[in-house]
Each structure stands twice: as C-alpha cells, then as structure tokens.
Chains A and B, each alone.
Chain A
C-alpha cells in the first residue's frame, strides 16, 4: 500500500483532473511541434518575398498569393533549366509506377513460392535476398553506375526503374511471404490433388485473398521510390531527374535572389503524393512501416 491510497478523495480527484489537463497540454504541444514545419511551409509558400522579409516566420500571410506555386510548378530554375518542378514530377510518376508494379508482382510470386512451394534451399535463398534490404546502398553505387553504363541505360528512367526493382524485391518478397505463410498449406495441397497447377492455384486461390497485402506493399514501395534521393541523384542526368533531386536543386540553386516562397511551394508539391497516400490509406501505411521494420 502506498501513501496515495490514503489521501483524501477530493484532493486526489483534483490531482487527477490536473494531471489530465497536463497530459492534454503536453500532447497538444507536441502536436504543434510536429505541425509547425508544415504550417510554416504552407504559409511561407503563400506569401510574397517582400512579406517574408518583413514579417514573422509563423505569421499568417497578409495577402495570399499563388505566384510562388505557379513558379515552383512551371518556372523555377534547377540549375540552367527553368521549367519548374513539372517535368520532374512526371519523371517521378513514370519512374514510380512501373517500378512499384514490377517489384510488387515479383514480390508476390517470390513470396508465394517461399511460403507455399518450399523446396530445399528456398529458405536460404529467401534469407540471402532479405539480406539485401540491410546493406547500406553506398556499397553498390559504384558497380551499379558502371553496370548501367554497360547496359546502356545510364542516366535514363528505365535505368532508375531497374535499380528500384532490384533493391525493392527483398522487401516485397518479405511482405508477401509473411502474409502467405498464414494461409494453411492444406489449401494448396487440396488444390494440387484436384489437378490445379502452380499458376492456377496462385490465380484463383491466393490472388483473391491478397488485396490487403497488395495495398500495403504498393504503398510501401511507392513511398520509398517517390521519396528516394540517393539512387535518383546518383543515376540520373539533366532531364531525367526525379522530383526529390529537382527540389534539392531548386533550393540550392545559387543564381538570383533566394525565393523562399518558391522553395516551400516546391517542397509541398514534392511531398503531396505521399502525403495524400498517408491521409487516404494511413492504416496500410503504418502496417507496412511496422512490418518492414520489425522483420526487416
């Protein structure tokens, strides 16, 4: 028994309410801290440069202007070119969509094999593939740059798709394998006895069950690939850069006056697709994060 149980009930009640208020206060303060950068990005992007120079960082814009957004989308300079983020946004789309699709399909097939058609050595193969998720990619940058050159896809979007697929398979295989392992092996056995083959079983039994894990995998891969910078900056050239590289170039371009409002608008544009995914499908996003981290 502690002292707390002997204090007068009214006093402990007041204490409880005070604690509760303190708790909510703390939670709100932290929420503001997480929101602050986004709030600042948004308000800065809607201000004129003049207002940025004279006003306070967190002040709301006195006069809302979308000029910075227009410039960020179609006029800001990334080095010598001044076409804004627009072409790079589409580069990222054209890069992410096929890379996500290919790596997801491969992951589904691999996961299906490892979980349900386990042959001798399959687990070792799986472990070896999984290991690829852990390496710091710096260790493959140099040979990959040469390989892309030899394959004649250096500095191209197909080259980047290739790289993202190769280093994405480990994770996608892991996701599908962990999901398919929970489906009873008897199901496959029964279907085999009925004369169904490898692909037939996948197509009519496993695929219809796979929607949740497909969503998790697609979201995970899309976020990874859209937000990637290392591969993008290493294996692209002027014109084929993904949006993260273009954003960094806009922010760090040294020519002319620093247009902070354009930088912020550009940053939001680059963040918008993944943020949208997060808002719409947050549950699946979190599931991918925890699955990808706890096991991989």
Chain B
C-alpha cells in the first residue's frame, strides 16, 4: 500500500498545500479519468492495437484510445503484466458501445 495519511499531511504542511475533505471533489483536470489495469478487463493474454484498443468486459464495452503511449503501433500488450494501464476520460467514452475483441492476437500467439 502506497498511501499513508500522516505522511501525506506532513508533505502538505511542508509545501503549504491545503488539505480538504475527501468528498469526491475533483482536484485537477487530469483526475477526471479512471484507470484500470488491462488485466482487470481483458481475457486475452495478448492484445494488439493501433491507436485504439477494442475491449469488452462486464463493466466496460468501449472503444478506448490509449493514453500515455504504452507501446508502439502494432505491437502486443502483455496482459499479464501488472504495469499496463489504460486511462479513460470520464463521461467521454462510457457511452460508446463498440465492443469487439481483437481475435487476431490470440491466433497469432497460437501460431
């Protein structure tokens, strides 16, 4: 676990950062994204993608553009790696219901 409230308060005091109640207030614009590990939503061990990744899960059924440049074009993401994140801009994509899994990646691995 990374978060320690006492440590956080000490840092805020050191830098004069005000502290507020945790009531869901958005602190900065980039915070309006929701992060999740690819492994949390994908069943495929490897997925390939261009600029967008098409995924399907119980929670999300989306066409998500990858933020942060996890990998270069046409390469595989190893879904078993814990450091791979997707970011989704809140309210921007949740209603977008294209949902296909790229089966090419599974076939390529099988081959």
A is bound by B: no
